Amino acid sequence: MARHTVTIKKMAYQPTPLNVANGDEVVWDNQDKVPHTATFTFATTGTINGGSVSGPIRFSQAGTHDYTCDFHDMTGRIVVK
């Protein structure tokens, strides 16, 4: 199991897509001043305030998992191998 970080900067998730292995965890590092979320159909980070890092989400199903920010027009993708 590995832990990966998605950076939120200038109103965008980076990298996207992020490729991870089954069982890996991902956290989101919000480097913007405004709050964001990473919301999937099956899980959410909840609000990530500016300058904060989310708790981890573990990915245990292979496939492509798209996510959005509940507050802004931002999209990202996690690909689980």
- Across the beta sheet with 18-20, the strand order is 18-20, 75-80, 63-68
Q: Give residue 19's pLDDT.
A: 98
> What structural domains does the chain harbor?
3-80 (2.60.40.420)
Q: Give residue 74's pLDDT.
A: 98
Q: Give residue 59's pLDDT.
A: 98
How far is the C-alpha of 1 from the C-alpha of 41, rounded, in Å? 23
Q: Give residue 62's pLDDT.
A: 97
For residue range 49-71, list pLDDT tens digits in order: 999 999 999 999 999 999 999 99
Q: Using the 8-state DSSP alphabet, how is residue 60 labeled?
A: -
How far is the C-alpha of 51 from the C-alpha of 23, rounded, in Å? 27
Which residues of the chain are under the pLDDT cut of 70? none
